[in-house]
Structure formats: C-alpha cells, structure tokens
Homo-oligomer: A and B are copies of this chain.
Amino acid sequence: MKDFDVSLYLVTDRNLLKAGRDFYDAVEESLKNGVTMLQLREKDISSKEFYEIAVRLKDIAAKYNVPFIINDRIDIALSVDADGVHLGQEDLPCSIARKIMGDNKIIGISAGCVDEAVEAERDGADYIGAGAVFYTGTKKDIGEAIGLLNLKKIKEAVKIPVVAIGGIKYSNAPDVMRTGVDGISVVSEIMASDDVGFATRRLKEAISK
C-alpha cells in the first residue's frame, strides 16, 4: 500500500530562494514545519548535478518521513531510490513510467483538464497534479490557468488524490481546498518566503480551515 499525503506538497525551485539562503536548510525547515510531500524539480542542469542534489534531498525527506518525488527524470528517481516521480504532459507517458518503475513507486501526473486526469488514472497514476489553478510565472510549461471550477471537475472525475498546482498562496488556499481537492502544491509561497517555517505553518493552517 502506498502511503502518502498530498495535503501540503512542496515543489522546489532553487532560483526563488532569497539571497544568501541555503537550499537544503530551506527545504528542511519546510519539512519540519509541516510539508507532507516533497518534489525536486530541476531544469537545465547536468544529470550528475541533478543526482547529487537528489541524494541530499532524499536524506532530508527521509529524516521527516516525507515521500520524496523527482520531477520528470525517472532515471534520477531510480538512481536515488526516490519514492516516485511527477510527470507532466510533455514528459514520459505514465504507462511507460509504471513499467520502468514498478508498482510500488508513486507516479503523479499533471493534468490541465478532466480528460488528462481520467487518462492518467486509467494509466496507473497514483495522484493528479491539477492546474495551473491560477496564473503563475513559476512553471511556464503547465499552460493556461484552469480556475477553481475546472479544478473541482477534475477532482470529481477521478478516485485518486488530486493536488492543486499553480499560483496557490496562503490567501487563496482555503478557496482551493473548498473545491474538494486533497491538497495544495506550492513553490514560491514557501521557497521565496523570508521565513520558510512561518510560511509553511501559515499554509498548514489555511488548508485546515
């Protein structure tokens, strides 16, 4: 049985850190303060560097017993024995990922509409990352904002957990949760914060409202 909780799902982005902040410290602080799932997302770095970052984050995630997910790169996930991968619509197909990774790894799929979510569930996905819910500058490749109504439709169309992605902040998190989704995924709301611990606790509070 896969045991994971998407309720407060952090996706990393080293470029958003405040000047002088250490990436690993920031991630650890977020886990200590309630992040329930961690995704390492990197673009435009070598496989070796990606691997080295993944090795360190895996240890930190394990310390807090939080599932550790790799964005896109199944090879990096296998290299560090991560708990799973998160795949976008431009990444490897879910069915292929399942074949390579086996039944025990978590596979999350980004979906921008009901069709994509239903297809992902049928292909063996363990959760859906639905969005972008709101417009965001941080993930250029996830397309147009879908809004809360479409988010609700996606949630109602599948049985697997749905985590809302894209533009989610403390201020809109309660509205997002009222669509019925299982959690929120954030990048900048935690990574770009002056106080990562406070930002995390505040989000934790917002989703339990």
Copies of the polypeptide in the assembly: 2
State in angstroms the CA–CA spacing of A92 and B70 once bound together.
15
Residues from chain B with a CB closer than 8 A to the CB of A87 are 47
Hey, which chain B residues are within 8 Å of A49, CB to CB? 90
A48:B79 contact, CB within 8 angstroms: no
Which residues of B have CB within 8 Å of A78? 74-75, 100
Shortest Cβ distance from residue A45 to the other chain B in the assembled complex, whole angstroms:
9
Chain A interface category by residue count = 20 to 34
Interface residues of A in 57-107 (CB under 8 A from B): 72-76, 78-79, 87, 89-93, 96, 100
Residue on B nearest A72 in the bound complex, by CB: B47
- A74 touches which of B46, B72, B75, B89 (Cβ 8 Å): B75
Given contacts A47-B92, A79-B92, 12 further A-B contacts (CB under 8 A): A47-B87, A47-B90, A48-B89, A48-B91, A48-B93, A51-B93, A51-B96, A73-B75, A74-B75, A75-B75, A75-B92, A75-B100
